[in-house]
Amino acid sequence: MESDRSPVELHAHLHGIMQERLARPLRDIFDDLDDRLFNLAERSRTGAQQQLYFDALRNLRLARADLEIRFLQYADQSLHPARENDEYTPLRGALALLGKDEQEETMQLELQAQHVSRLVEPALTALLARLSALAQQPPPKDPLTSAISPRGLSRAFRAALDEININVEIRLIAVGLFGVHLIPVAEPLYAELNACLREAGVLPDLPDTATEFVARVRAPSPQRVPRPVPADTQVKKPEPASAPVLVPDGNDERINELQRLVSFNRRERVNQALTLDPAAVPHSDGPVLDREVLDQALDELWTFDEDPLAFKGQLLSKSRALARSELAQLSSDDEDVIDMIGLLFTRIRADSELPSAMRKLLARLHVPFLRTALREPELLRGNKHPARELLDQLGATAVGWCDASDPAGDVLKQVALTVEQLAAHREGVQSIEYSHALNALHLQQGAVQRRAELAESRTIDTVIGRERLELARNRVSALIQQRLHSHEPLPWVRQLLRGPWAHHLALLWLRHSENSQEFLKALAFIDELLWVDECNNHPSDSARLQQARETLPQRLRQGLGGVTQYDSEIESLVQRLEAFLETQATGEEPPEFVYETDPSLLQADIATHWQDAQLENQPDAAMLEQAPRPELRALQPDTWFEFRRSPTSEGERARLCWTSPYSGRYLFVSRNGSRTRELSPHELADSLESGMARVLDDSRLLERNLRSLITQLRQATEGLELTGSLGT
């Protein structure tokens, strides 16, 4: 190292660069957070929620200076790799499960740092090599997790927030603003620090990638020499984590048609106004507003959440004030984009397929969506874009949401945080990170979806099991009644067959089917016992009767053992059966118990507890033919419905997941996979006819609203053309 500065002086200069680069975005974070909390408090619906935001606002203002100082001190310490290693080692303690709130913060910070880390890795590696050479210490093993890396700075910011009492919602907003304001500063910061160290003579020949230096430092030790790799073997480098793969959404033609209709309608209105009253149409030769002025105006209007169609006037007024020109005008292309986005979010704001709470949240994406559309023409002109994919993903989440399926408000809060973080983006060098938000949404909803699928599978299995049990009981009941119809057995024999033995038959029907040998043998037990009951009425077959005395008690004991009867109860029934068989064989009078009502057998009698549910749940043929909604017969699984208890009540949303092949009943589940209701075809038809239920259009949000807009504008175009022809 050849330099006129001592290491102490050089470190002081580096600290100055660090403070200068980080102080301004750090102030911007807390300024932005202050504005956002104030606006959230003003828009709060309840006093408790408003007080929560105001308390957080007050606490942050009181602790702001300490938070900024604490973060900048950590950033200064990150310039000393040796000290960093000492401090980071104790954190590697015993493994522990992360709490839900901590997991959300960690995931968001990781997603924010991930993209930038890949971009700055060469400069960061070179910087750590120079800092380590200056301190005469080995560099950190992993530059991307070092204290001065984007991940390290994120950890420092999170640690600073730990010192103040704010809830997880506000912490996540602050973390999102950290990604907007401070993470983008990492790349110019590393470049300036590298330039300073290079000029001071610290590894001046080191390239930005620091390939040779890193290879030398990371060379394997003699104790752990890796196996040689054959020359013809290509070592595959690990690929960095990537965002979800975007696929064309098929809306490019619809967007082009929408733009054509918007432009045509605007021109036609201007032409008609000129025809009717030329003086009423303002003419201006003023300058065209550039994108920078529009960006600044959007920065000041980021909290706008009123009618999207009224936004154009406010944006134009604010832009003219910033441009200091009352005659400034929008370019035709920009005006098309502003009109299209305004119309789209007007439709979303009124989309009846979305719950009212979700409509208001998604409408908050109007400003960030417009900002991106002005900056990135491919949002409206390409066949795919992460902003469009995110909007569709949020729409899919919203369609199945209702208060009943989200009692704790976790899903609503997550959507609100995603939307607010995007809406809080201010003008800067970095574009709005829709890909990061989309990736986070996929990660969070992936686990929720897996749990919902498991719950739904269990719900269906439960209902299938119940319906099969009902079907088994109905069939067994019919078979027993068919045999008893031609016999008049003694009361105890009737109770035995209609009670415990009927349960045994139902279990065999479920396990083995009606045609199995086990089930047929159980039916043969009924026939044999009924024959024994009537053997006194006709010449008896002594050999057959003797065989019945030997086999029937044992078959009764084995059969009832599978229907969870207590051993003492089973033995009591077997002993009574043996006593009855003995009197039938000897011709004596049967015991008294065969003429009495047995309370325990009566309790299990099929006539008391088994209802013909299959017939009750199935509407008759005449009702089906006269059903007001015959299209219900073709209903497909995964169709979303909205049910209301009254015309004014909030709707409960449920998805059709299964149609019973036994009774034809429909099973509905919530977005969590839990059962909400079961309806027969006629009950569902009645609900639809009365307006207490409706089928939801769960097609993709953007496609659905574009189709509706195009239809609406085509009708308006026909009206304008008709008016124009009448005028001429």
Which of 139, 279, 311, 306 shows the shortest CA–CA distance to 216?
139
pLDDT of 435 higher than 80: yes
Domain for residue 487, yes or no? Answer: yes
- Which pLDDT score, from 0 to 100, does residue 234 have? 42
pLDDT of 244 higher than 60: no
- Which pLDDT score, from 0 to 100, does residue 93 have? 38
- Which pLDDT score, from 0 to 100, does residue 222 have? 35
The reply to whether 598 and 689 lie within a common domain is no
Model confidence band, residue 187 (pLDDT cutoffs 50, 70, 90): confident
Model confidence band, residue 526 (pLDDT cutoffs 50, 70, 90): very high
- Which pLDDT score, from 0 to 100, does residue 408 have? 83
Query: Considering its fold, how many domains does the chain have in total?
Result: 4
The reply to whether 397 and 419 lie within a common domain is yes
For residue 608, the surrounding DSSP H or E stretch is helix 606-609
Domain for residue 267, yes or no? Answer: no
The reply to whether 625 and 600 lie within a common domain is no
User: What's the per-residue H, E or C state across 268-299?
Assistant: HHHHHHHHHCHHHCCCCCCCECCHHHHHHHHH
Q: Which amino acid is at 132?
A: S
For residues 483 and 151, give the distance between their C-alpha atoms in angstroms, rounded to a whole number. 78
Tokens 């310490």 belong to residue:
77
Model confidence band, residue 212 (pLDDT cutoffs 50, 70, 90): very low
pLDDT of 713 higher than 70: yes
Domain for residue 326, yes or no? Answer: yes
- Which pLDDT score, from 0 to 100, does residue 216 have? 35
Per-residue pLDDT of 62-84, as tens digits, reads 888 888 888 888 888 888 875 44
- Which pLDDT score, from 0 to 100, does residue 214 have? 36
The reply to whether 411 and 489 lie within a common domain is no
Per-residue pLDDT of 438-492, as tens digits, reads 888 888 788 788 888 889 989 998 888 888 888 888 889 889 988 888 888 899 9
At residue 73's C-alpha, the angle toward residues 69 and 77, to 5°, is: 175
Per-residue pLDDT of 570-608, as tens digits, reads 899 999 999 999 988 888 888 889 888 877 777 777 666
Of residues 12 and 425, the one with the higher pLDDT is: 12
The reply to whether 123 and 207 lie within a common domain is yes
At residue 35's C-alpha, the angle toward residues 303 and 344, to 5°, is: 15
Model confidence band, residue 643 (pLDDT cutoffs 50, 70, 90): very high
Of residues 693 and 428, the one with the higher pLDDT is: 693
Q: What value does the CA radius of gyration of the chain take, rounded to a whole number of Å? A: 38
For residues 618 and 623, give the distance between their C-alpha atoms in angstroms, rounded to a whole number. 10
pLDDT of 21 higher than 90: no
Q: Please state, as a whole number, how many other Cβ atoms lie within 10 Å of the Cβ of residue 488.
A: 12
pLDDT of 309 higher than 80: yes
Which of 689, 664, 549, 547 shows the shortest CA–CA distance to 613?
664
Distance of CA 71 to the CA centre of its chain: 34
* Span of 189-203, 282-296, 495-509, 515-529 with lowest mean pLDDT: 282-296
The reply to whether 371 and 393 lie within a common domain is yes
Domain for residue 229, yes or no? Answer: no
The reply to whether 597 and 673 lie within a common domain is no
Of residues 448 and 115, the one with the higher pLDDT is: 448
Domain boundary among 598, 613, 628: 613
Domain for residue 246, yes or no? Answer: no
The reply to whether 19 and 72 lie within a common domain is yes
- Which pLDDT score, from 0 to 100, does residue 561 have? 84
User: What's the per-residue H, E or C state across 475-529?
Assistant: HHHHHHHHHHHCCCCCHHHHHHHHCHHHHHHHHHHHHHCCCCHHHHHHHHHHHHH
Residue 665 is encoded by which pair of tokens? 């009943």
pLDDT of 100 higher than 80: no
The reply to whether 622 and 583 lie within a common domain is no
Domain for residue 402, yes or no? Answer: yes
For residues 406 and 653, give the distance between their C-alpha atoms in angstroms, rounded to a whole number. 11
Domain, as residue range, for 501: 458-613
The reply to whether 467 and 341 lie within a common domain is no
Domain boundary among 200, 217, 234: 217
User: Mean pLDDT over residues 213-241, rounded?
Assistant: 38
- Which pLDDT score, from 0 to 100, does residue 635 have? 80
- Which pLDDT score, from 0 to 100, does residue 667 have? 94
The reply to whether 475 and 609 lie within a common domain is yes
Domain for residue 239, yes or no? Answer: no
Average model confidence (pLDDT) across the chain: 80
The reply to whether 197 and 303 lie within a common domain is no
Domain for residue 23, yes or no? Answer: yes
For residues 573 and 52, give the distance between their C-alpha atoms in angstroms, rounded to a whole number. 69
Per-residue pLDDT of 261-286, as tens digits, reads 988 888 877 676 666 666 555 555 67
Note the pTM of the prediction, 2 decimals.
0.60
Residue 581 is encoded by which pair of tokens? 């068989």
Q: Please state, as a whole number, how many other Cβ atoms lie within 10 Å of the Cβ of residue 35.
A: 15
CB 710 within 8 A of CB 340: no
pLDDT of 497 higher than 80: yes
